[in-house]
A = this chain, B = another copy of it.
Amino acid sequence: MYGHVHMPLRKTAKILGLGAVTLLLSARYLHWLFRRWRSRVPLKEVLFFPTSVTCVEHLFAPPTDLPLRCPCPLPHGADTSFTRLLRHLLSATSSLDLCVFAFSNQELSRTVLLLRSRGVAVRILTDKNYMIMSGSQIGALRRAGTCVRHDLEAVHMHHKFAVVDGRLLITGSLNWTVTAIQSNRENILVTEEPDLVRPFIREFEQLWEANDPSRYRSSLS
């Protein structure tokens, strides 16, 4: 009789054990599939310049059902490194923190103003010498109400990076100038990788605080 009782128990234990192992492995497999799927999602992109000059009006147009008909003589509808850069910037919904040495490109200035009109909080940190040079957009952006600070300590505030919504990092050799975009060999790297985005957010916050004009004025008095 004991034999009859022990056999089903052993069998049940075996089945339960096998079931548990299979369940565990299946869960791991699903987790692996999920991670694999997720690991493909975060954006990782490298853009090179110079890029050909194309019409970018459609990127600034309000969303309508009709496609925008632009009469300008430039090629339309092209996907270039510059249109991709604009699209990444225009994807901002809450914040744009920009840390750039030279900013003279009018389309990029228009991008900043459009984002501000949509309620995106824009902060610009720039170089004290370059910002007053002819062609710089910093004055116009300041007059339009954009928060701008300039680095007071370094010889050059030579960074060229932007953080979109505290999530997307755009960084590289590219200044925000026409020459950089249309004539130079340049690169930008676009990534959502948190380990890379986080240090740039910290750097921006530190420089933003260190160059607060109220702190600067009080240290002068």
Identify the A interface with B (CB < 8 A).
Answer: 18, 21-22, 25-26, 28-29, 31-32, 35, 39, 44, 46, 48, 50, 101, 151, 154-161, 171-174, 179-180, 183-187, 189, 191, 193, 195-196, 199-200, 203, 207
Contact = CB atoms under 8 A, between A and B. Distances in A.
23 contacts: A18-B18, A22-B22, A22-B25, A25-B25, A28-B29, A44-B195, A48-B203, A154-B183, A154-B184, A156-B184, A157-B185, A158-B174, A158-B180, A158-B184, A158-B185, A158-B186, A159-B185, A159-B186, A160-B173, A171-B173, A171-B187, A187-B203, A193-B193
Contacts of A183: 154-156
Best-surrounded residue of A44, A171, A187, A199 (most CB of chain B within 10 A): A187
Contacts of A22: 21-22, 25
A155 B25 CA distance: 58
Contacts of A187: 159, 161, 171, 200, 203
Contacts of A158: 173-174, 180, 184-186
Best-surrounded residue of A35, A101, A159 (most CB of chain B within 10 A): A159
